Amino acid sequence: MTEHASAAKSDLSWLEEDRLHEECGVFGIFNHPDAAALTALGLHALQHRGQEAAGIVSFDGNHFHTERRVGLVGDHFTSRPVIERLKGDMAVGHVRYSTCGDPVLRNVQPLFVDLDSGGFAIGHNGNLTNALTLRESLIKKGAICQSTTDTEVILHLVARSEKQRFVEKFIEALLQVEGAYALVGLTHKKMIGARDPFGIRPLVLGKLGDAWVLASETCALDIIGAEFVREVENGEVVVITREGIESHRFVPKFPARLCIFEYIYFSRPDSIVGGRSVYDVRKEMGRQLAREAPADADVVVPIPDSGVPAAIGYSQESGLPFEYGIIRNHYVGRTFIEPEQRIRQLGVKLKHSANEGQVKGKRIVLIDDSVVRGTTSVKIVQMMRDAGASEVHMRISSPPITHPDFYGIDTPDQDKLLAAHRTLEEMRQFIGADSLAFLSVDGIYRAMGYEGRDDAHPQFTDHCFTGEYPTRLRDREGPPQQKQLSFLAEVG
């Protein structure tokens, strides 16, 4: 879900980690007396996918109930009165991330509307690449938009469909949108889950006794004790009613192309994504990195938390000891927004501190999962030198990010990406490391058990490394090197 608003960005860059950020997580549960409370727990487990706002919509057999708040799930949805207001045995919820400094409640999801057929709530993880184009044409035809999100376009398309059954209306809407979406929806009779034709963003189906559950990741099933049933497939709509579950395909079946960054950074390490343990894949990426880019060093140090599994893998493969040479403070929140300039200059030290005893006088291999702008890397390399490291060899367990995302991930403009216009040596100099190496594109596929990337039919969506966007980017003109393929052309 992406905002098209021009809300001014407050300058949080000093506080934000230099990372790509997932923009949303979704959760839904059908046929459980504690639907709202379990949805709050599920959203809490998905909090890493979005920290700006959260919302839940429930249905009690007669009425829909909506609670949408700016802030963390735990700030609002642990309150008994809030959960008690969310009556009913079915609920859907959403967490969102945004760098927009002025979060607007009307954009917080799930969005809810009254249609001809009754109420409809929807939560979206991903980004539609033709939403502006569709929105413009809908507005010309008289549509009045209530939010500035791309997700609202789906509601308008469903509302305007002349099909008879709700699921047909919904599918007709999906056939008009392009881009990435994992959706959870709720009507007075049904819970609905859907994934885009490539399955770029994840969505899983679970069971808790007689209740069905939908969630962005399996960690949200685990927190409520639900069992994993299966993934919602790419190009599939699942419709859950009191009678059971139906599956509808709206494009021909073809192999999914999940966003590869779910393995590198977005998903929680304890989640199982696409049948693989995220933790195991990250460790394997570290092993592969050690094979591709060994370093003459004394100790392997992760940049916590996300660099830890890859550093364990690197250490195991290289035989170099693993040490926590950097300690992360987990309690830095947005309460630190906009302090004085000289405090801001302390920058990364708010989040990361050197564990001097583990790095002093040592040649260290510093492991991170990815580099976006490189600004955090600069500070951390300097921090290691200040703590007495004699050499700092930086190793990144994913390839250089050269292209921006258009599928629901917060990325800076292409010219702000460290790797977009620099050689490896220029990047090394910028970061200030003694050596620098990235995992190769084939290497990341090898870490997942393939021989390498299948260039003819790539196994994942990986365009931040390759520039190959799997869908059309109708709302924007891409740089000439982007291969803009219609998904239907690719399916065909």
- Give min distance, CB of 443 to ligand SF4, in A: 15
Q: For ligand SF4, which is the closer residue by CB, 20 or 24? A: 20
- Give min distance, CB of 481 to ligand SF4, in A: 14
- Helical (H) or strand (E) element with 166: helix 166-174
Q: For ligand SF4, which is the closer residue by CB, 222 or 462? A: 462
DSSP 240-298: EETTEEEEEESS-------BTHIIIIIS-TT-EETTEEHHHHHHHHHHHHHHHS----S
Q: For ligand SF4, which is the closer residue by CB, 371 or 387? A: 371
Is residue 23 a contact residue for ligand SF4 (CB under 6 A)?
Answer: no
- Helical (H) or strand (E) element with 444: helix 441-446
Are 329 and 353 within 8 A, CB to CB? yes
Q: How many residues bind ligand SF4 (CB under 6 A)?
A: 12
Is residue 259 a contact residue for ligand SF4 (CB under 6 A)?
Answer: yes
* x/- map, 400-429, ligand SF4, by CB under 6 A: -----x-x-x--------------------
- Give min distance, CB of 274 to ligand SF4, in A: 13
| Region of 46-54, 105-113, 254-262, 334-342 interacting with ligand SF4 (CB under 6 A) | 254-262
User: What is the Rg, in whole angstroms, of the alpha carbon atoms belonging to the chain?
Assistant: 23
**Coil, strand, or helix at residue 92?**
strand
Is residue 261 a contact residue for ligand SF4 (CB under 6 A)?
Answer: yes
Are 105 and 152 within 8 A, CB to CB? no
Q: Looking at residues 334 to 353 of the shown chain, list those that interact with ligand SF4 (rule: CB under 6 A).
A: none
Q: For ligand SF4, which is the closer residue by CB, 79 or 484? A: 484
Is residue 20 a contact residue for ligand SF4 (CB under 6 A)?
Answer: yes
Phi then psi for residue 446, to 5 deg, are: -65, -40
Residue length of the chain: 492
Are 205 and 212 within 8 A, CB to CB? yes
* x/- map, 147-186, ligand SF4, by CB under 6 A: ----------------------------------------
Q: For ligand SF4, which is the closer residue by CB, 394 or 464? A: 464
| Region of 25-33, 255-263, 375-383, 449-457 interacting with ligand SF4 (CB under 6 A) | 255-263
- Give min distance, CB of 459 to ligand SF4, in A: 12
Long-range CB contacts for residues 424-430, cutoff 8 Å, separation at least 24: 424/400, 427/371, 427/374, 427/400, 428/394, 430/374, 430/378
Is residue 260 a contact residue for ligand SF4 (CB under 6 A)?
Answer: yes
- Give min distance, CB of 203 to ligand SF4, in A: 15
Q: For ligand SF4, which is the closer residue by CB, 288 or 358? A: 288
Dig out the tokens for 145 from the structure. 């938009």
Is residue 19 a contact residue for ligand SF4 (CB under 6 A)?
Answer: no
Q: Residue 271 to residues 180, 205, 220, 221, 234: CA-CA distances in angstroms?
A: 20, 13, 9, 9, 19
Is residue 200 a contact residue for ligand SF4 (CB under 6 A)?
Answer: yes
**CA gap 19, 49 in Å, rounded:** 12
> CB neighbours (10 Å) of residue 154?
26
DSSP designation for 72: -
- Give min distance, CB of 77 to ligand SF4, in A: 28
Query: Residue ranges of the alpha helices (H) in 293-340?
Result: 308-318
Q: For ligand SF4, which is the closer residue by CB, 69 or 453? A: 453
- Give min distance, CB of 1 to ligand SF4, in A: 14
**Helices and strands, number each (H, E), in the chain:** 17, 23
- Give min distance, CB of 483 to ligand SF4, in A: 13
**CA gap 474, 51 in Å, rounded:** 29
Q: For ligand SF4, which is the closer residue by CB, 151 or 402? A: 402
**CA gap 48, 65 in Å, rounded:** 25
Task: Name the amino acid, one letter, at 109.
Answer: Q
Is residue 52 a contact residue for ligand SF4 (CB under 6 A)?
Answer: no
Is residue 281 a contact residue for ligand SF4 (CB under 6 A)?
Answer: no
- Give min distance, CB of 377 to ligand SF4, in A: 18
| Region of 26-34, 110-118, 257-265, 390-398 interacting with ligand SF4 (CB under 6 A) | 257-265
As annotated, the active-site residues are 24
Are 213 and 29 within 8 A, CB to CB? yes
* x/- map, 444-483, ligand SF4, by CB under 6 A: -----------------xxxx-------------------
> CB neighbours (10 Å) of residue 4?
17
Q: For ligand SF4, which is the closer residue by CB, 55 or 307? A: 307
Return residues touching ligand SF4 (CB under 6 A). Answer: 20, 200, 259-261, 405, 407, 409, 461-464
